[in-house]
Structure 1
Amino acid sequence: MQEIKLKWLVKPQVSNIGTTFCIPWKKGELRNTKNVVVRSKDGSIIPTQNWPLSYWGDGSVKVSGHAAFFGTNLPDEVFACIEEDTVTKFETMVEVYEDKEYISVTTGKLECKISKAGDKIIEYLKVGQKIICSNFTQILTTERTSNFTGYRTKVEEEYIPQILGATVESRGPLRCVIKVWGRHLRNTKMTFDGSLLKQGWLPFEMRLYFYANSDKIKLVHTFIYNGNPHQDFIKGLGLKFNLPLHSPLYNRFVRFGGDSGLFCESPKNLIDVDRREKYKAMFQNQFNGQLVDFDIDEDHHYIREINNTPEWDEFILFQDSSEHYVIKKRTSCQCSFVKATEGRGSMGFAYVGDENGGLGVALKDFWQKYPSGFEVKALTSSEANLIVWLWPPYGEVMDLRHYDFGTYTSSSYEGFDEYRSTPYGIANTNELWLYCFDYPPTTEQLLEYAKMQGFSPLLVCSPERYKETEIFGGLNLPDNSSPKKEEIERILTAIVDFYLKEVERRKWYSFWDYGDFMHSYDIVRHMWKYDIGGYAWQNTELVPNIWLWLMFLRTGRFDIFKMAEAMTRHTSEVDVYHLGEYKGLGSRHNVVHWGCGCKEVRISMAYLHRYYYYLTADERIGQLMDDVKDIDRQIMHMDPMRAYFTNDPENRVHIRVGPDVMTFCANWFVRWERYQEEIYKQKIIKILDFLKKNPAAFISGGVFDYDPEKTQLKPVEYTGGSNFVFCFGNTLVWLEIAKNFEDKEFEDLCVQQGLFYTEFKENKDEILKSWGVPSFGFKLNMLNIGMAAFAAMKKNIPALKKEIWQMFLDYDKNPRLKFICDGGIDLQLATVPAPVVEVPFISTNIASQWSLNALLALEFIGDEL
């Protein structure tokens, strides 16, 4: 049995860490995850907790999830293999105790008591006998503006969380996940304007991850906006930790992560009032995080002088943009702040503690998802507060209103005339790590945690392993064995590098935007069309998610992973509705992510997110994929073609094979491979049977009436050649289903579909006429070329293979490619605020589709280059 090598995506520089990772398997290779053994390079066993994430059609494991804990000696790589007779022993295990009111978790290093009700999410965190944190809760403040009295008045209202439940979502010897959920309630029964109390405001869920022998906790926090964007403005949203402090003020410490180092202070700094070397050294030690010990007799004069210095009770770090943060402090809420320092991008780390230990917190994507912040309060009291601000109250309120009061369908590509811009039901997920210390850590230790910037340690396989297991379609490895292949690889790399740089150059950051790309470029203004209807934010249009994930899987590059991960978080949360009328649907591209009147199933497609799930086993993504398993029923309430069939006397539901039916099948496929639920396989088979009997439906697109109860399609109208049957991931989805179901007949239909869009299909016009399908639109282009490459391989048509590669490498037909490969054009103009790098006419649609179809062509006919 071969060994499967895994290495760190980015090797952590800290010790004693827990991690969750995944391993892909070939069909028939693994039957029982209990037989997976992970070893270090010297052959010693690394204890792991194993479980299946998905299955092949024969019941063998497709992807397995694993949890492990690594102590002080962190290996560069580990090796997994199947050993049926090996028994793994666990020296320390996670223990979970549950009653009606609480869930208690012990890891061997810490104890955590989690509430099932009330307003305190965590009652306490203990390391040994020391309480590191108590009464962990949430803070929510809203702001309303009123002219009721004749004066413009702003009123802030405070909310408290109401926990509705907690459960052990995942339990094992080395890892457990506790899920807590709830909502927020006002502190008062009436608002300032006399309106009734709103129940169930801003629902949230939180997952806490524990690892055996670990004193660290991963926390994944999600909230769903369910307010009125014209009146429910969030002023502040944060997580508050109460920290007991018992030491003298000069032995209490505050640490904030800056750009590259730590901001280090205490509420009582040992300033050099005495100008003696001894006290200067003491001040330096305190600054470095070391405890100070005075001799009462020898140091009484210095102690008296120190007692006459300010006591700093509050500290704030506020990241107000991707380019700036400020750190301030004050002695009292009745006094002004004093600015300490400013910087660009904070690492997103804070620590508060004393000589007994303390708590460190890291918020992932801290400056990328600005505004964000940390606040330390009551530092001079016996219980300080450390607040992690997901949305700090120091700047503007969270404004989720639309950018206008109407739509601009004809001029700005905004979909339908219907005004359906609403944030009601969108979500946002954020990740944190909690680091518990029962001793005063050194500044150097804390800096290593800060440098991780909240990123979870992750082991990944080699690109070769992902390729050989065939768990993802369209995946191949970089190949420079010929000049033409080298040119294709150069373009693929140039395109993804261009976008990674554009994120920074164009500042595609902020709380609701980070993870998305812009759609189309404006060559007059030399900027992206940020304010022009459907040409602004991309959302999941033409599946850039899949493009980025395939580029990561074939290269193993961390920068691509991080961008693909951010896009997965964004598109699965912000672009999709999780409550309300549009639950399960997503919003098409727009100036505002949720602005387009087209609410469609393709935006929330589970297939988009399983790449991330099969790399990380992330429970939140798993839940979101489960949420859309029956999304075909939602179509009955939101006809995607309602703008075009306004007078259908039969009141039918009008859907398309691509992208609607394809999305149904993609969701069912993910559900089936994860849980082996036969009902979802049978739904797909019903659709495949219909397409086999009605090839016009598959090849030309068309519009159909749909009955979700029977999984039944009925033709309404056939169209000509439709790009919608290809450009939303259709080629990948259909070919993967055909392969996994071992359906040769459907595979042949895919071949015929590819040929119909080329000049190599015999009797095309006669066949179309017999089907009653118009002959226009059947033309080889960048959207269907991947399926054409599949057909060229299966039918072995040399001329078609040659035509496909000519199209990919023809700079006259794709002038953008030349600009990208040349690095773009450097512009510095009087009409441009700052110098830019420009690729004229660049479009994310073209970038993602060219890349995806090039990868498919490399897989199918790469040997022809």
Structure 2
Amino acid sequence: MKTTPFSRRGFLQTTAAASLASSLPAAHAVTANLPTTTAPVADTLLRWLDGKAPARFEGSTLGVPWPRGQVKLPAGKAPEFRLANQPVQSWPLAYWPDGSLKWTAHAVAGGVPAGELKLEGGTPAAGTVAVRQAGDRVTVSAGDLVWTVATRGEALIAEATRAGRVTLKNLRLVALRQDGADPELDGKVSRKSFRSKVTAVTVEQQGPVRAVLKLDGTHSANVDGKGRDWLPFSVRLYFYAGAESVRIVHSFVWDGDPAKDFIAGLGVTAQVPMTNATHDRHVRFSGEGVGVWGEAVRPVTGLRRDPGQAYKDAQVAGQALPPLSGMATAVQNGLKWIPEWNDFSLSQTGADGFAITKRTQAGQAWIASNGGTRCKGLVYAGGASGGVALGLKDFWQRAPVRLDVRGAATELAEVTAWLYSPSAPAMDMRSYRSPGDMDTHEKQIEGLNITYEDYEPGWDNSVGVARTSELQLWVLGATPTHQAFSDMAEQVANPARLVLSPQRIHACGVFGDWDPVGTGTPARKLIEDRLALQLDQYLREVEQHRWYGFWNYGDVMHTYDVDRHMWRYDIGGYAWDNSELSTDLWLWTSYLRTGRADVFKLAEAMTRHTGEVDVYHLGELKGFGTRHGVQHWSDSSKQPRISNAAYRRFYFYLTADERCGDLIRELLDSDADIGKVDISRKLAPGAGPRTTELPGVGFGTTWGSWIAAWLTEWERTGDTRWRDKLVNGMQSIGDLRRRWFAGGAPYDAKTGKFQGPGADVSISHLNAVFGVAEMSSELLTLVDVPAYRRAWLEYCRFYNAPKHEIAALLGKDPGGRSLTDTCSRLTAYAAFHDKDHSLALRAWREFFTSRALRGGGQLRRVGGVDTLRPLIEQPTISTNDSAQWGLAGIQNLALVGDALDEAAKAAGLVP
């Protein structure tokens, strides 16, 4: 029996406990579509993502959600929160429709906080970061550190001083261009160097806890404008109170000619004044695990003559040697004959090995020092009076990479973190295949039927893809001890994060239908264990199959080849996943409900990858993503379903990451470009949405991929034109004769409305699997569009309905329905909102049709001569199935979990 639907989010907000800030001022209303609630949330306690406080903390930022109506501020007033005695800076991230705060961001100062980390309304402890703009300079001061940023020119940071001493100069970007691929046997190639050319500096935050500067520019062969400019970049510098470092987020767009331009190196470099005697200068590299490699430029240990233990101890510790007058005379007289080591390199050529070498000067032989497996990616050069440490996050995971020190024996050394190593073969952005004979759509369809690759000449272009890297730069007053350096390396490789518990996030009703993990009954434990097993397997697969590398790290593969015991990395459309069927959503929703650090880090890496590498950021294809393929850009199917902002919103709101926010804003007007790419150009006539002069747009795979960007912008700014665009699309779908069962319709980007009668039925199993189910769940709690609510509930109820029921609705059985188990969450949504217990039981029966709960998830060990290395294999694994089954299980538990035990017993899954 149907009843009036109600909001699950409203239910959550009326049953949460304990108030945070009921005394804050009333909100400035942005809009009001649905009634607000006054339910409070539990105390906002912050915890460390990894479960314990770090040894070193350089500051970080997190997002915090609030229930609708709870945190209200006058227009233009910043929120104020305190975190015990730890300085904290707060600002709004998003608003509810009633104008109350939905998300706030909080920058926490460096220095490990002591005691309980409780965020509450009130005046925060003072921070020490200040920004001053004068002429062509921006100066950021934090304690005894002063950073000077020029608004034009080559340097990102012109100079940094520590306690008045100039310790760093000319932080800049470097790139090497090679004019051809590396010759396989003989032949020659030439290289040319490029440096950063900053064209604009924007001060985005000015302290007192966090300052943010955004620098835009290009890599130039000549900064006076006479040389070639390419590889546009955007770099953000983050300065935190209480920190000795600056965080660097480096993004660039590939805009070369794949046939002629080969990146032979891409790096960040800085100059280090070296004022100490060479025996008091030191170089440090992070090693394996907590290990540290540390040596002096001119060593006094291991000599034929003993200088004295105090001298050896001081040098190993990185301290200035005691007065030389106390040193053994033979060593004093012989110091000038001890070689000065000028250049040092740590080269991580792949995920499994690095080597350290050094030489006395250019033109002389490199000497092998040591090596290991995986380096955390931190280098230091300096002396007893101070120096610079530079680290690259995801160092070995992004290999080939390199860390360099050059000129350590001179007055001005250089420290470089190579994001792409000059030691490796030049980066090759050409297509992996030649066009061959596939010069017609008919031939390409034949190829698609064999390799699942949607190939089309010219559509496998890499121009316009991007990559973001994260670095940490320290300006230090002395050479760090081995322990301090090891702690710094851990911060580079695994930055400490403050987060909220799943329960605290869930109480705010954000991100759709999910609930924290619970194993209170045998049936629920059965599903939770299976969900955990699948997450564990993907974490394992990243390592087992080495899904690493500059362009690859963060993505997973699409389909497994059990015969080869390999993923189908070389078979057309079965290779890299590229967000197909919402893998990102699955990982992020899994993190929300589990709070698992390893899941967060995999989802973070995926967000950094899929939002950059799988999407075009310039040119005619800007805003489109690329379907799964052997290369991330190789498939000719370019669609908004891959660039979908729904996959980025989690990371943006949980971390307040500005780069992620940029990527979401890039997509705001991408619907206006839909006419540039005929998504259905290879389909049989009549197979796609019926078109007029307007392009035909599918509701789920296309429109459903735009709405997350519009929703996020409305939430961030309160600009109602984005709400209106959402409402126009929702209302026009509801007004069509067949509503959601029309599948798609002609679309007018100027109004956001669908056109035509929508009288034909078109059902695709893909329509609900690219985030539109999750986004519809959110939208229907934020805007009241009765026609769309009816249309969506109808679609949810009847998509999986028995044939006679859907035939009664539509006049015939339309066919085209599949993914019964994963689309059980549609049934569950209708069951919850219609309060229909029998429909809830049907949802579970549909979910149970998956083989996942009946042996499909079994693991086995494979090794010996059959595999490259021993594997724990899941023979039936598929990323499409894993992501969609996981999302269905999560949503079903949240919506109709109270019917699970009854359904599981009836199915014989539990006693």
Work out whether 1:849 is the aligned partner of 2:888. Answer: no
Distance 1:758 1:500 in 2: 32
Which amino acid in structure 2 is aligned with residue 675 of structure 1? T
- Structure 1 residue aligned with 2:851, among 804, 814, 829? 814
Give the corresponding residue for 2:722: 680
Distance 1:864 1:351, change over 3 A: same
Alpha-carbon distance in 2 for matches of 1:162, 1:779: 53
Contact map agreement 2:629 2:635 (CA 8 A) in 1 = yes
Cα separation, 1, equivalents of 2:566 and 2:840: 37
Q: 1:816 to 1:184 in 2, by over 3 A?
A: farther
Instruction: Assess, with a 3 A threshold, how the Cα gap between structure 1 residues 763 and 844 changes in structure 2: closer, same or farther.
Output: closer
Q: Distance in 2 between matches of 1:284 and 1:394?
A: 35
The reply to whether residue 313 of structure 1 matches residue 355 of structure 2 is no
Deviation of residue 217 (structure 1)? 0.7
**8 Å Cα contact 1:789-1:861 kept in structure 2:** yes
User: Does structure 1 residue 270 correspond to structure 2 residue 300?
Assistant: yes
Task: Tell me the amino acid that sits aligned with residue 795 of structure 1.
Answer: D
Rounded to whole Å, the distance in 2 between the matches of 1:280 and 1:422 is 62
Alpha-carbon displacement from aligned partner over 1:296-328 (angstroms, at most 9, x marks no partner): 365332122232222111000011100011111
Given that 2:182 and 2:426 are in contact with CA atoms closer than 8 Å, whether structure 1 keeps it comes out as no
The CA deviation at 1:39 is 3.3
Gaps of 5+ in 1: 191-196
Partner-residue secondary structure (3-state), 1:223: strand
**Contact 2:154 2:196 survives alignment (8 Å):** yes
Matches within 5 A, 1:220-239: 220-239=249-268
Match of 2:172 in 1: 137
Q: CA deviation at 1:111?
A: 0.8
Instruction: Report SS of the residue matched to 2:345.
Output: strand
1:29 to 70, 73, 76: 70
Given that 1:94 and 1:176 are in contact with CA atoms closer than 8 Å, whether structure 2 keeps it comes out as: yes
TM-score (norm: length of structure 2): 0.88
What is the aligned partner in structure 1 of residue 535 from structure 2?
Answer: 496
SS in 2 for 1:453: helix
Q: What is the identity, as a one-letter code, of the residue corresponding to 1:18?
A: G
Residue number in structure 1 paired with 2:33: none
Cα offset, 1:774, TM superposition: 6.0
CA 142–221 in structure 1, closer or farther in 2 if over 3 Å, else same: same
Structure 2 segments unaligned to the other structure (5+ residues)? 1-18, 21-42, 436-443, 901-911
2: CA distance between counterparts of 1:103 and 1:718?
61
Q: Specify the alignment match of 2:243 in structure 1.
A: 214
Amino acid paired to 1:451 = E
In the TM superposition, what whole-angstrom CA distance separates every residue of 1:402-440 from its partner, at most 9, and x where no partner exists? 110236322122235454011111111000111221233
Distance 1:833 1:576 in 2: 32
**What is the alpha-carbon distance in structure 2 between the residues aligned to residue 262 and residue 662 of structure 1?**
50
The 3 A distance-change label for structure 1 pair 544 and 69 is same
Structure 2: how far apart are the matches of 1:649 and 1:515? 38
Q: In the alignment, does 2:522 pair up with 1:483? A: yes
Cα offset, 1:549, TM superposition: 0.8
Which residue number corresponds to residue 83 of structure 2? 39
Identity %: 31
Distance 2:649 2:239 in 1: 23
Contact 2:83-2:124 within 8 A present in 1 as well: no
Letter in 2 for 1:664: W
- Counterpart secondary structure, 1:374: strand
2:625 corresponds to 1:595: no
Secondary structure in structure 1 of the residue aligned to 2:397: coil
Taking structure 1 as reference, are residues 475 and 297 closer, same or farther at Cα in structure 2, changes over 3 Å only?
Answer: closer
2:329 match: 300
Q: What does 1:75-474 correspond to in 2, within 5 Å?
A: 75=114, 77-82=116-121, 86-88=122-124, 90=126, 92-145=127-180, 152-187=187-222, 199-260=228-289, 261-276=291-306, 279-296=308-325, 299-406=328-435, 408-415=447-454, 417=456, 419-474=458-513
* Residue type at the aligned position of 2:370: T
| Cα distance in structure 2, aligned partners of 1:141 and 1:720 | 51
Q: Which moved more, 1:159-168 or 1:267-276?
A: 267-276
- The question of whether the paired residues in 1 share the 8 Å contact of 2:65 and 2:102 is answered with yes
Please show how residues 628-639 of structure 1 align to structure 2 within 5 Å: 628-639=667-678
Q: In 1, Cα distance between the equivalents of 2:679 and 2:405?
A: 49
Kept in 1: contact 2:513–2:777 (CA 8 A): no
Cα distance per residue 1:589-634 (max 9 Å; x no partner): 1000011111111211212111001111011001111111111011
3-state DSSP of counterpart to 2:614: coil
Aligned counterparts of 1:104 and 1:445: Cα–Cα separation in 2: 28
Give the equivalent residue in structure 1 for 2:569. Answer: 530
Residue identity opposite 2:45 in structure 1: K
**Alpha-carbon distance in 2 for matches of 1:374, 1:335:** 19
Query: Is this contact kept in 2: 1:210–1:216, CA < 8 A?
Result: yes
Determine the C-alpha separation between the residues in 2 that align with 1:61 and 1:761. Answer: 46
Name the counterpart of 1:671: 713
Instruction: Find the residue that maps to 1:658 and give its secondary structure.
Output: helix
Q: How far apart, CA to CA, are the structure 2 residues paired with 1:546 and 1:188? A: 43
Measure the CA separation in 1 of the matches of 2:473 and 2:211. 15
- Which secondary structure does the structure 2 equivalent of 1:491 belong to? helix
Q: Distance in 2 between matches of 1:181 and 1:404?
A: 34
The Cα shift of 1:737 comes to: 0.5
| CA displacement 1:651-674 (0-9 Å, x = unmatched) | 542221111111222221111111
Please state how far the C-alpha of 1:75 moved relative to its aligned partner.
2.5
Alignment correspondent of 2:54: 13
Higher mean C-alpha displacement, 735-744 vs 320-329: 735-744
Moved more, 239-248 or 444-453: 444-453
Alignment size in residue pairs: 840
SS at match of 1:153: coil
SS, match of residue 159 in structure 2: strand
Alignment partner, residue 591 of structure 2: 552
Compared with structure 1, are the counterparts of its residues 15 and 450 closer, same or farther at alpha carbon in structure 2 (3 Å cutoff)?
closer
CA spacing shift, 1:620–1:430, aligned 2, 3 Å: same
CA distances 1:560-585 after superposition (whole Å, capped 9, x unpaired): 11100000000011011111121111
Contact 1:536-1:591 within 8 A present in 2 as well: yes
In the alignment, the residues of structure 2 paired with residue 508 and residue 189 of structure 1 have an alpha-carbon distance, to the nearest angstrom, of: 41
- 1:193 alignment counterpart: none
- Classify 1:713/1:774 alpha carbon distance in 2 versus 1 (closer, same or farther; 3 Å): farther
Residue 640, structure 1, aligned to residue 679, structure 2: yes
Residue aligning to 1:617: 656
- Cα offset, 1:214, TM superposition: 3.0
1:8 and 1:77 in contact (8 A); partners too: no
| Aligned 8 A contact 2:308 2:327 in 1 | no
Aligned-partner residue type, residue 113 of structure 1: T
2: distance between equivalents of 1:118 and 1:750? 54
Give the letter for the 2:295 counterpart: E
Tell me, yes or no, if the aligned pair for 1:587 and 1:598 is still in contact at 8 Å.
yes
Residue 706, structure 1, aligned to residue 747, structure 2: yes
Separation in structure 2 between the aligned mates of residue 363 and residue 480 of structure 1, nearest angstrom: 40
Q: Deviations over 1:708-754 (max 9, x none)?
A: 11323235884443212211111111111111114454333322111
Backbone CA RMSD of aligned residues: 2.5
Sort the Cα spacing of 1:765 and 1:366 in 2 relative to 1 into closer, same or farther, 3 A. same
CA distance in 2, matches of 1:519, 1:147: 30
- Quickly say closer, same or farther: Cα 1:77–1:508, change in 2 above 3 A: farther
SS in 2 for 1:639: coil
d(CA) in 1 for partners of 2:817 and 2:81? 52
**Partner SS state of residue 189, structure 2:** strand
Structure 1 length as normaliser, TM-score?
0.93
SS at match of 1:545: helix
Task: Tell me the equivalent position of 2:39.
Answer: none
CA distance in structure 1 between the partners assigned to 2:759 and 2:305 by the alignment? 89
